[in-house]
Structures are given as C-alpha cells and as structure tokens.
C-alpha cells in the first residue's frame, strides 16, 4: 500500500478536534495525483500572524474534513484559520453581519441568503480576475458565476462568491442485477427512458418507485422532478425567469414541465402502489422497492444522498447503481444538471480573506476533500482519480460534463412558495388536480407576497 493511502487511513481515525498545519493528511509533493503546483503557489502569499475566521454550516465529520483542507492553507501561507460550524448558520450570520461582527469568510448553503446580505452591503464583491477564472476552470463555469452574481446596494450586478462543494440531484437509481435479469439497458436519452418505462410495464413489471412524503415538508421530491424536467424541456433562461417569477408559475412552459412529471407519477401502471400512493409514501422508504425480490420497481429518481436510506449492507456499484437523468435528444438542450452547492463569500474583507478565496478556487482545495469523502467538484482542474469511491467519481463526471448547472429552484424561491405552496401544489397534482389549476394557485400565493 502506498504511503499516501496509509496516511488517509491514519488521518480518518482522528477525532473531530481542530486540525492544525502539522497534521497534513498528505505530504505535499509525494502523491503525484494531486495538483501540488496550486499548493506551491500559495507560498507566495505571506500571511504570518494573520487570522482568518470562517463560519459555515459544516459540523461533525464535515467540519473535520474541511479543517484537513484548511491545514494546507495555514502551512503554505503562515496564516491561522479558525473555522466555526453551526446548525443555526442562516440565522446567526444575519445577526453577526448586522452587528458588524461577521467572519472574514462565510459558507452559504443557499445563494438566496447571500444575495440578501449582498444587497445590504454585508458582502464584498470579488474581482473580475476571480470571476473569469471560475468561468474558465469550472464545468458550465458561467452557470456558477451567474449563481453568485447578485444586486448590490445600488441595484447593480456584482460577483460575490466561489462555489466549493456541489451536490447532484439529476440521478436515477437502479439495481444492476434486476436490469441484467430483465435484459434492460441504461437509457441514454429521455426518449429511451420513457420507452424503458413502457417496456417494463409491457413485461409485467412496475417501472418507478416515487415517494413525496417528508412530514411537514411533504411534496419537496416532486419539486426536484419538475425542476429537472423544466431544464430538459426549455432553455435555461426559462428556468431562471421562473425562479424569480419573471416567468409566471402558470406559464404554459412551466405547466408543461409539471405535466411531464405527471407522465411518470400519475399513471397507476408506472408507479409502485399506483398514483394514489405517491404522496403518501415516505421518500426515505420509496427506494426500498428496488431491492425486493421480485422487485417492486426498477427505477428511482433522487439526489446523491439517497443511498443513506438503502437497506443496510447495500453496496454501490454492485447492489445499486445510478445513471444521469437524461435529456431529450429531440430538444438539443445539452446536458443540464440540477443540484446545489456551498458558496464562499467575503463578509469581512482582509488580505487573508482574499487569499483564502483564491485557495478555495484552486484545484488542490477540491482534491484534498475529494480524497476524503462526501465531496463533489465541478472544477475541471481537479483530478477525478482522487475521488474516494467509484460512485463519487461517476457523479463527479456527470458534473464535469454538464453544459448547464442550475441550483434547486425551490430553494431560490421565497419560502412561502419554494417551501410552501409549491410543495402542497405537487401533492394536490399527484392526487389528481389539474396542472393548470395547481400552477394558478401557486402563482396566486406568489402574487400575494407583493
């Protein structure tokens, strides 16, 4: 076993205490898979004696993984980085910003909150050099820049942050054994996916497991379906206008995406338990039908986190696998990807804060977490061979080949819409309510906010 891999094994046994520069996970220069040149470039910035404060939502193992990355910035620059994580980040950062005690760098799990603070002057814009580097270095780079471009206090657009860690939603999960037994191939287009859905029914099976249940948040899985399908039936500009309500919820193009979801979810033959079970089935239980014998379903669309709810002992790549939720060959809209991500922004400007942002957008900062666990990157310069699992590498490839990346739309909408009437409207729709009527009702809620 290589020394670097032994280092990983030792490092992963560390406690969740803060990691210091002396505890580097990999010795710089030893493992040629890493982009050590981007680490060496940090040494030109002397930050001895400077402290950089970073605040975000990562706690537990995520905090430890991030601190192992931070250690390299400390070692190269001489700076001290203090990271604090909180499950109340969204509330606390607003309080700290208003009190004038914000950290140097904040890690926003949703760009909407960053946009609100930028409009109030609590976030410092980044340079065109950083913006242009993101366009060049990230897959679908302009998409990531657009997601971090907000109105400033004067109502003008500025670029405010660098996305660091990404999440992927455009996935369909399946059992390779079940596919092999039935003679099914992984579909490469949406036309193929629909044909497979119909073929499974013709063969006497049930294609899909779909569950919208999530307690008080019931309905949210359907919003992801609609968002993915809107990106596959309309240009990204339509999606962007819809998220801001410049394009109304009851616009025929949006209604069409809802009805596309209905093609899958409102056909009793297509869904385990029939269409009536969709809204009552908990999303955490819905994928379990993939693993029953005989299978209760063959396909399940859900984000990269869903394996946490697979039966204990399920091995990714063997018992379960995934493929990209495909685009329509006939639409010529490229390979859109729906997901989420964390945005690094400067909330208390300093030389160290600027240098830390430069570090975060460098390949080495991505690779050092990729080599641990729980990290996907859209950075084209980060070596995909460093992913800690084949599943992560495969998901990373989907991000790298994306022609368009868009953030979860419901997370960008006002809470009463994205976490309210959109959720309940999708439950009503799967229950049989007309798509146009559902869309009109959601739009009425949006209109009432003005």
Q: What is the pLDDT of residues 220-250, one digit of tens each?
A: 999 999 999 999 999 999 999 999 999 999 9
Please, which pLDDT band fits residue 13 given cuts at 50, 70 and 90? very low
Domain that holds residue 307: 171-336+408-448
Residue 76 and residue 9 share a domain: yes
CATH number at residue 379: 3.40.190.10
CA–CA dist 336, 349 (Å, integer): 35
Contact 440, 448 (CB under 8 A): no
Contact 370, 364 (CB under 8 A): no
Residue 350 and residue 332 share a domain: no
Residue 185 and residue 88 share a domain: no
Per the domain annotation, does 60 fall within a domain? yes
Q: Which residues touch 143 (CB under 8 Å, ≥6 apart)? A: 236, 402, 404, 405, 406
Q: How many domains does the chain have?
A: 2
Contact 247, 428 (CB under 8 A): no
Per the domain annotation, does 111 fall within a domain? yes
Q: Which residues touch 88 (CB under 8 Å, ≥6 apart)? A: none
Residue 127 and residue 46 share a domain: yes
The pLDDT, as a whole number, for residue 14 is 34
CA–CA dist 260, 253 (Å, integer): 11
Contact 369, 20 (CB under 8 A): no
Pairing label, strands 162-168, 336-346: antiparallel
The pLDDT, as a whole number, for residue 2 is 34
Per the domain annotation, does 272 fall within a domain? yes
The pLDDT, as a whole number, for residue 6 is 28
Residue 188 and residue 319 share a domain: yes
Instruction: Over range 422-443, report the average pLDDT.
Output: 98
Size of the chain in residues: 450
Query: For helices 422-430 and 435-448, what crossing angle results, to 10°?
Result: 160
pTM for the whole thing? 0.90
Convert the chain into a string of H (helix), E (strand) and C (coil).
CCHHHHHHHHHCCCCCCCCCHHHCCCCCCCCCCCCHHHHHHHHHCCCCCCEEEEEECCCHHHHHHHHHHHHHHHHHHCCEEEEEECCCHHHHHHHHHHCCCCCCEEEECCHHHHHHHHHCCCCECCCHHHHHHHHHHECCHHHHHHHCEEECCCCCEEECCEEEEEEECCEEEECHHHHHHHCCCCCCCHHHHHHHHHHHHHCCCCCECCCCECHHHCCHHHHHHHHHHHHHHCCHHHHHHHHHCCCCCCCHHHHHHHHHHHHHHCCCCCECCCHHHCCCCECCCHHHHHHCCCCCCCEEECCCCHHHHCCCCCCECCCEEEEECCCCCCCCCCCEEEEEEEEEEECCCCHHHHHHHHHHCCHHHHHHHHCCCCCECCECCCCHHHCCCHHHHHHHHHHHCCCEEEECHHHHCCHHHHHHHHHHHHHHHHCCCCHHHHHHHHHHHHHHCC
Statement: residue 361 has pLDDT above 60: yes
Q: Which long-range contacts (CB under 8 A, 24 or more apart) does 287-292 make?
A: 287/173, 287/209, 288/209, 289/206, 289/209, 290/173, 290/174, 290/175, 290/178, 290/209, 290/320, 291/175, 291/319, 291/320
Residue 227 and residue 353 share a domain: no
Residue 188 and residue 65 share a domain: no
Of 90, 152, 158, nearest to 411 by C-alpha is 90
The pLDDT, as a whole number, for residue 450 is 73
Of 351, 370, 394, which residue sits at a domain end? 394
Residue 215 and residue 101 share a domain: no
Per the domain annotation, does 371 fall within a domain? yes
Per the domain annotation, does 134 fall within a domain? yes
Per the domain annotation, does 158 fall within a domain? no
Residue 184 and residue 264 share a domain: yes
- pLDDT tens digit sequence for 267-293: 999 999 999 999 999 999 999 999 999
pLDDT, averaged across the chain: 94
Contact 206, 296 (CB under 8 A): yes
Residue 347 and residue 330 share a domain: no
269-308 exposure pattern, b = at least 16 Cβ within 10 A, e = fewer: ebbbbebebbbebebeebbbbbbeeebbbbbbbbbbebbe
CB-CB neighbours of 82 under 10 Å: 13
Residue 210 and residue 91 share a domain: no
Per the domain annotation, does 79 fall within a domain? yes
Structure tokens at 433: 């309510």
Residue 320 and residue 427 share a domain: yes
Contact 71, 19 (CB under 8 A): yes
Handedness of CA 6, 8, 11, 15 (dihedral sign): negative
CB-CB neighbours of 201 under 10 Å: 14
Per the domain annotation, does 155 fall within a domain? no
- pLDDT tens digit sequence for 165-200: 999 999 999 999 999 999 999 999 999 999 999 999
The pLDDT, as a whole number, for residue 131 is 98
Instruction: Over range 17-43, report the average pLDDT.
Output: 84
Please, which pLDDT band fits residue 136 given cuts at 50, 70 and 90? very high
């Amino acid at each position: 076993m290589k020394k670097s891999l032994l280092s990983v094994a030792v490092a992963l046994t560390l406690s969740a205490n803060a990691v210091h520069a002396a505890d580097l996970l990999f010795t710089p220069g030893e493992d040629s898979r890493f982009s050590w040149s981007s680490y060496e470039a940090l040494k030109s910035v002397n930050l001895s004696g400077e402290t950089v404060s970073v605040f975000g939502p990562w706690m537990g193992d995520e905090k430890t993984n991030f601190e192992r990355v931070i250690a390299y910035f400390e070692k190269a620059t001489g700076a001290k980085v203090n990271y604090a994580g909180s499950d109340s980040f969204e509330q606390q950062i607003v309080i700290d910003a208003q009190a004038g005690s914000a950290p140097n760098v904040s890690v926003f799990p949703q760009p909407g909150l960053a946009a609100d603070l930028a409009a109030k002057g609590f976030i410092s814009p980044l340079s065109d050099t950083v913006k242009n580097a993101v366009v060049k270095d990230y897959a679908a780079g302009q998409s990531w820049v657009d997601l971090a471009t907000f109105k400033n206090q004067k109502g003008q657009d500025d670029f405010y942050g660098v996305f660091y860690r990404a999440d992927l939603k455009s996935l369909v999960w399946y059992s390779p054994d079940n596919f092999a037994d039935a003679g099914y191939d992984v579909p490469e287009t949406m036309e193929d996916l629909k044909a497979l859905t119909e073929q499974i029914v013709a063969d006497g099976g049930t294609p899909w497991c779909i569950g919208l249940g999530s307690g008080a948040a019931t309905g949210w899985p359907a919003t992801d379906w609609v968002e993915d399908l809107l990106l596959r039936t309309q240009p990204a500009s339509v999606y962007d206008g819809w998220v801001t309500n410049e394009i109304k919820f009851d616009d025929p193009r949006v209604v069409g995406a809802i009805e596309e979801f209905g093609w899958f979810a409102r056909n009793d033959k297509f869904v385990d338990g029939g269409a009536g079970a969709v809204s009552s089935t908990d999303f955490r239980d819905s994928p379990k039908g993939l693993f029953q014998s005989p299978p209760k379903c063959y396909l399940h669309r859900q984000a990269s986190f869903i394996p946490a709810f697979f039966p204990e002992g399920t091995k990714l790549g063997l018992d379960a696998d995934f493929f990209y939720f495909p685009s329509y060959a006939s639409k010529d809209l490229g390979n859109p990807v729906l997901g989420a991500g964390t945005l690094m922004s400067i909330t208390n400007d300093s030389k160290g804060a600027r240098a830390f942002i430069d570090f975060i957008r460098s390949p080495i900062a991505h690779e050092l977490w990729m080599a641990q666990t729980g990290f996907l990157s859209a950075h084209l310069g980060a070596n995909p061979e460093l992913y800690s699992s084949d599943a992560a590498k495969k998901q990373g490839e989907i991000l790298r080949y994306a022609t368009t990346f868009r953030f979860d739309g419901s997370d960008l909408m006002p809470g009463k819409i994205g976490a309210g009437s959109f959720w309940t409207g999708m439950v009503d729709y799967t229950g049989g309510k007309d798509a146009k009527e559902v869309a009109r009702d959601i739009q009425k809620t949006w209109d009432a906010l003005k």
